[in-house]
Structure 1
Amino acid sequence: MTFEQLRIFLAVAERLHVTQAASHLNLTQSAVSASIAQLESQHGVRLFDRIGRRIELTEAGRLFAGEARSLLERVAETRRRLDELGEEVRGQLRIHASQTVASYWLAPRLLELRTRHPALEIALTVANTALVSSAVAEGAADIGFVEGAVRQNDLMQRVVARDELLLVVGRDHPWASRSVVDPADYASQPWVLREPGSGTRAEFEAHAASAGVAMQSLRILLELPSNEAVLSAVATGLAASVLSRRAVASALAAGEVRSVPIDHPARPFTVLTHPERHRTRAVETLLTIVAA
């Protein structure tokens, strides 16, 4: 059994589709099938059931998948530790970041990191705040960046920047000409919001609660997983939303939407690390850059 066989097996086990796994691994379908067949033959075990055109993990396959995943994670960690022994910062830095942070704040800092250390591979995953914090807690990410605080008490959290939320509407919306909107009026218009679990959504819910507005009283037409999608919907003038000033800056400058300040403190951009996991030099270097 080789590490390559483990890698191929996990790719198939996670997708339950040989063709998709082959595409992900940049291998031919026949090479992936042959590797699985050889692994099963070598150890006298069936890892997948072939049911028509589908495949499913057998019980043995399910048990082996957990072991294989743990082993490959240990190998990856060993490689990272070995990379640390050299003078150059190298290896892979796994970063998970929430959408607003990744799109409008983090990218220039990652470019600085990569320019300083060209041998370093940066793997960025964009997800909502809840998923980012979970990834750091579970070790799937070396470092995370989110909007606001998170509930995981076992994570180290440090504020590295701040951001302002704005109430945003289209040019033809009834609130477009207002300089202020009373939260008591929120229930009078429909809304398009970010999905639950996002930092923007959590901050809006906190704002509504502090203003005495129950979320159940709002007419939420859509919950969308990206700032761009929300902004596109809001620009029609049919609904209101609350988004980051950074996320709407271009649309505001182009006159596509209007904004109204809301009575809510600036929210923090927070970096997350795990206190019990090894911090590579790449992590330490990035922490220095974002703190500058």
Structure 2
Amino acid sequence: MTLDQLAAFVAVAERQHLTRAASALNLSSSAVSSAIKALETMHGVALFHRVGRGIELTSAGRRFLPGARDMLARARGIEHLLDELAGIERGVIELQASQTIANYWLPPRLMRFHAQYPGIEIKLQLGNTTTVTEAVISGAAELGFIEGTIREPALATRQVASDRLMIVISAAQDHARASADDLLSLSWVMREPGSGTRSAFEAALRAHDIDPARLDVVMTLPSNEAVLSAVRTSSAATALSEAVVTPWLRNGDLQALPFTLDLRAFTLLRHKERPLSAVARAFETYCRSFPD
């Protein structure tokens, strides 16, 4: 059994999808499939059911998954120890972030950090609040960045920036007001449940005594870009980060409704009991020192 085989197994188990797992590992689908097959053959146990084009864990796979995650976390801990001994001139840092942060807030900070520490390899994966939180808990990521806040006993949290959601519609629509009744009269395109954007917007509505369940959500899409494309070409509304919608407001494709939503936090996550590597500590300090 090799660490590469374990990594392939965990990646597929967590995503229930061979191609997405291969993309996360920067490997070909055939390489990931071969690694899992070799692991199954070596130990004489089936870890996945192949059902048509889908893949799902067997009972044995579900029992094996926690131990595999733990072994990978321990291996990363040993790698971090070697990084400690070498200082922060080289090493690897594994990050996960929700989409708005990963696409807008993190990139300039990653580039400046890379300029200061060119020998450090940065691995960033996208997710949503739920998947990023799970990654930091399991040890798949040392640091996570989410929109909003969470209550998770295993994790320490720190606000590193703030952001505002804006309600937008196509510029072609005639809708200048934004009372509670106005919002309830609109159709909506929303991010998926579990995303920080969706959670923050629903919390903001409740603060205005509006029940999110009363919104007419006609479509749920998995990315900011997909939501934007749908809203720009329809009569639907959405709520997205100011950083996401600003270019489209400036070029006249979208208009913002005059409904003020409270600021939300961009939050850094780390495990309370799992020591950070030297490079992760350096990046955490960098983010806290240069929040905006």
Which among 198, 202, 226 is matched to residue 195 of structure 2? 198
**Partners of 1:29 and 1:137 in 2: CA distance:** 24
CA shift in 2, pair 1:33/1:285, >3 Å: closer
Give yes or no for contact 1:8–1:35 (8 Å, CA) kept in 2: no
**Partners of 1:200 and 1:34 in 2: CA distance:** 38
Q: Name the larger-Rg structure.
A: 1
CA shift in 2, pair 1:89/1:280, >3 Å: farther
**Partners of 2:249 and 2:6 in 1: CA distance:** 50
Task: Work out whether 1:218 is the aligned partner of 2:221.
Answer: no
Unaligned runs of 5+ residues in structure 2 are none
* Deviation for aligned residue 1:139: 2.1
* Deviation for aligned residue 1:77: 1.7
Aligned to 1:258: 255
CA shift in 2, pair 1:125/1:15, >3 Å: closer
Aligned to 2:244: 247
**Partners of 2:201 and 2:277 in 1: CA distance:** 35
Of 194-203 and 129-138, more deviation after overlay is shown by 129-138
CA shift in 2, pair 1:186/1:282, >3 Å: same
Alignment-mate amino acid for residue 98 of structure 1 = S
Aligned to 1:170: 170
TM-score (norm 1): 0.82
Task: Work out whether 1:95 is the aligned partner of 2:95.
Answer: yes
**Partners of 1:146 and 1:203 in 2: CA distance:** 11
Give yes or no for contact 1:113–1:285 (8 Å, CA) kept in 2: no
CA shift in 2, pair 1:281/1:169, >3 Å: same
Which among 213, 228, 236 is matched to residue 233 of structure 2? 236
SS in 2 for 1:95: strand
Of 204-213 and 246-255, more deviation after overlay is shown by 204-213
**Partners of 1:63 and 1:214 in 2: CA distance:** 40
Aligned to 2:72: 72
Give yes or no for contact 2:157–2:269 (8 Å, CA) kept in 1: yes
* Deviation for aligned residue 1:10: 6.0
**Partners of 1:171 and 1:184 in 2: CA distance:** 20
Unaligned runs of 5+ residues in structure 1 are none
**Partners of 2:18 and 2:215 in 1: CA distance:** 45
**Partners of 1:9 and 1:201 in 2: CA distance:** 31
Aligned to 2:147: 147
**Partners of 1:33 and 1:137 in 2: CA distance:** 24
Over the residues paired in the alignment, what is the CA RMSD in angstroms? 3.4
CA shift in 2, pair 1:97/1:8, >3 Å: closer
Task: Work out whether 1:282 is the aligned partner of 2:285.
Answer: no
CA shift in 2, pair 1:57/1:223, >3 Å: closer
Give yes or no for contact 1:8–1:25 (8 Å, CA) kept in 2: no
CA shift in 2, pair 1:35/1:208, >3 Å: closer
Of 247-256 and 12-21, more deviation after overlay is shown by 12-21
Render the CA deviation track for 1:165-197: whole Å, top value 9, x for unaligned: 11100012231xx2x411221111211111111
TM-score (norm 2): 0.82
SS in 2 for 1:104: helix
Task: Work out whether 1:39 is the aligned partner of 2:72.
Answer: no
Task: Work out whether 1:161 is the aligned partner of 2:161.
Answer: yes
